A and B are shown apart, each in its own frame.
Chain A
């Protein structure tokens, strides 16, 4: 692509959550950057021979930044799925084979990602081989480009290990991401503990397994001052704990995924393994608390927690099936349910998917502003469709939203000024 290629996005509803901008106007990209934008730009319709994209009044926002994606299948299909979902940047979890716990592997993931079409940032393991015992080379990994440290689907459970990681990571200004689930309390469990699990005869994971882990960590954060992020918050008690920690001024942030605000444990009925997730889907009360947490900003970011699994690992009895769902291609319409339902304002939702994750990860992007990377999502917020995983770019089809009628569709995704997805 020519470095001076000029593209004008005309007739757009420009929404930039970081500045509060929401107006009809145009946006000009030159090369890989946003050059200019606003209601006055090209108001006379003269575009100096630039390439013109007519947005037809649809929403033009910063490209989405997804902080939690598992590379369960090839980088290529994952990147295509991301692009189709309006996601221009993904942070990948260290759960790969081999585990991303050395600087050379961070480099390897970055090279795999180079021509994928979207931006990919590796998150490294917090402990060697995700073993939960020995700290990884946090400083070297950070220099190599690792944005954060986590043990992925496993909690960093040992209090002493966690304390040391937070203490050490603080010196490198590194972010530590926790999978907040006490493994001892969750040990046998395969779904949320409660009446539903009792009726289905499935061992339950208690809701307190989440808040107990978070509350322990908060004490350690208080002690160490390290930046701490809870990957997925799913219970009312956890939302409360984080709300209080933020009020107390701790450097704490957290995220959640669409299935935790769009579904509850009833989705598991009839042993639907596509609704087996970790943490498990919770009660309706918890779901409402997550929505509230998003609305008041306690929950900072929305992630897909995209976790591909093939049919073979899902077509099993529930307790033997893999947990995890795909979500890159449904993140926008499921999120918009909260906007259409009047539960969370659109700008607030978009913040959780653009500027806030950029800020937490310390990366550029997530804003519509002069000089920012030209990473954009163009979508029609109202267009109705029905979720059909067969149409997905993702190779795996394990979506819990199959058949769900939704509103809001990605029309075009732009990364570095280049269109990487366009709806057919």
Chain B
């Protein structure tokens, strides 16, 4: 996406956030539209967030959770896509454990497709909500130093954030043990740090990632204890960042593994709960932006 397009989505998300915070009426732009949430991976907050966003805009929302335990999950993806397509939804929201799954689905259906996370590839709406959260607190994104810390290797959130924050002119750092960094990550336009203190030095934003134990076949770090010692965010390490540095986390948090409870709950520094609220607004913006075009087409 181009910076202007990102900014436009953020503006739209911002206005939705203001409207529902202020208790103002929200135009049901998705009235008579069907939104299907197709989740092949367990998710509470993302699916709830998309569901709520759709409902606030007046859409009929259907949630489908499909087990990924079946070895035929790939087949299920195409089959399910064809079946759902025949039901003529306006928008499909998909999460899948395989990188590229959303793109594959988009080739097979006629409706809009929103990627709610595909493997370790991307999670675009998470990056958008993070950007909006940053912009609301800091007033800008351009020129900020953002340190993304933790399991970069398995994280789609990290990849989407790196692309988006770079596009918007932030300086992005990644902080992780070498075993949790993908090969050639520096080619994505980030500064790489293995030492958390130097990685956090002077940072405006500290973005923590969850240690994705379920994606780890074999040990990438010796123990959670050692991980917390070197890469867990506590008050001591946080002191290296700017005094007004903001803490973010896409959730769900592993307290005591990548983040200390006191830091996570520090109302002044932590934007973690705000991220959840922003998430609904930004997903409303995405749904609105995609379905507006649909309206125009059908009115013709």
* Chain A residues in the interface with B (C-beta under 8 A): 187-188, 193-195, 197-204, 206, 270-271, 312, 315-321
Which residue, of A199, A204, A312, has the highest number of chain B Cβ atoms within 10 A? A199
Q: Which of B12-20, B84-92, B178-186, B231-239 contacts A (4 or more CB under 8 A)?
A: B178-186
Q: Which of B58-66, B98-106, B134-142, B264-272 contacts A (4 or more CB under 8 A)?
A: B98-106
B217→A188 contact, CB < 8 A: yes
Q: Is B188 located at the chain interface by the 8 A CB criterion? A: yes
B73→A201 contact, CB < 8 A: no
Q: Once bound together, how far apart are the Cα atoms of A271 and B103, in whole Å?
A: 9
| A320 / chain B contacts, CB cutoff of 8 Å | 73-74, 98
Known contacts A188-B217, A270-B103; A319 and B98 CB within 8 A of each other:
yes
Excluding A271-B103, A318-B100, 20 further A-B contacts by CB distance (< 8 Å) are: A187-B217, A195-B183, A197-B182, A198-B184, A199-B159, A200-B100, A201-B99, A202-B99, A202-B121, A203-B120, A204-B183, A315-B104, A316-B75, A316-B77, A316-B78, A317-B99, A317-B104, A317-B119, A320-B73, A321-B74
Residues of chain B from 174 to 194 with CB closer than 8 A to chain A in the complex? 182-185, 187-188
Which residue, of A197, A200, A201, A204, has the highest number of chain B Cβ atoms within 10 A? A201
Q: Once bound together, how far apart are the Cα atoms of A203 and B121, in whole Å?
A: 10
* Residue in A312, A315, A317 whose beta carbon sits within 8 Å of that of B100 in the complex: A317
A-B contact pairs, 7 of them (CB 8 A): A195-B184, A195-B187, A195-B188, A199-B188, A271-B100, A271-B104, A317-B98
Task: Name the CB-closest residue of A to B163.
Answer: A199
| B99 / chain A contacts, CB cutoff of 8 Å | 200-202, 271, 317-319
Which residue, of B74, B75, B78, B100, has the highest number of chain A Cβ atoms within 10 A? B100
Taking the closest CB of chain B, its distance from the CB of A239, in whole angstroms, is 21
Task: Name the CB-closest residue of A to B104.
Answer: A317
Q: Is B258 located at the chain interface by the 8 A CB criterion? A: no
Known contacts A198-B182, A198-B185; A316 and B103 CB within 8 A of each other:
no
B96→A317 contact, CB < 8 A: yes
Q: Is B249 located at the chain interface by the 8 A CB criterion? A: no
Q: Please, what's the 1-or-0 string for B239-253, where 1 marks a CB less than 8 Å from any CB in chain A?
A: 000000000000000
Q: Is B204 located at the chain interface by the 8 A CB criterion? A: no
* Chain B residues in the interface with A (C-beta under 8 A): 73-75, 77-78, 96, 98-101, 103-104, 118-122, 156, 159, 182-185, 187-188, 217
* Residue in B78, B119, B159, B185 whose beta carbon sits within 8 Å of that of A319 in the complex: B119
Q: Once bound together, how far apart are the Cα atoms of A301 and B78, in whole Å?
A: 39
Task: Name the CB-closest residue of B to A317.
Answer: B98
| B77 / chain A contacts, CB cutoff of 8 Å | 316-317
Task: Name the CB-closest residue of B to A198.
Answer: B182
A317→B101 contact, CB < 8 A: yes
A312→B188 contact, CB < 8 A: no
* Residue in A187, A193, A312 whose beta carbon sits within 8 Å of that of B75 in the complex: A312
Taking the closest CB of chain A, its distance from the CB of B162, in whole angstroms, is 10
Q: Once bound together, how far apart are the Cα atoms of A271 and B100, in whole Å?
A: 6
A198→B188 contact, CB < 8 A: yes
| B187 / chain A contacts, CB cutoff of 8 Å | 195, 198
Q: Once bound together, how far apart are the Cα atoms of A71 and B182, in whole Å?
A: 37
* Residue in B74, B119, B188 whose beta carbon sits within 8 Å of that of A316 in the complex: B74
Taking the closest CB of chain A, its distance from the CB of B214, in whole angstroms, is 14
| B75 / chain A contacts, CB cutoff of 8 Å | 312, 316
* Residue in A188, A198, A271, A312 whose beta carbon sits within 8 Å of that of B183 in the complex: A198
Q: Once bound together, how far apart are the Cα atoms of A144 and B76, in whole Å?
A: 44
| B185 / chain A contacts, CB cutoff of 8 Å | 198
Taking the closest CB of chain B, its distance from the CB of A264, in whole angstroms, is 15
| B217 / chain A contacts, CB cutoff of 8 Å | 187-188
* Residue in A194, A201, A202, A319 whose beta carbon sits within 8 Å of that of B184 in the complex: A194
| A315 / chain B contacts, CB cutoff of 8 Å | 78, 104
Taking the closest CB of chain A, its distance from the CB of B271, in whole angstroms, is 26
Which residue, of A187, A188, A198, A204, has the highest number of chain B Cβ atoms within 10 A? A198
B73→A200 contact, CB < 8 A: no
Task: Name the CB-closest residue of A to B182.
Answer: A198
A201→B156 contact, CB < 8 A: yes
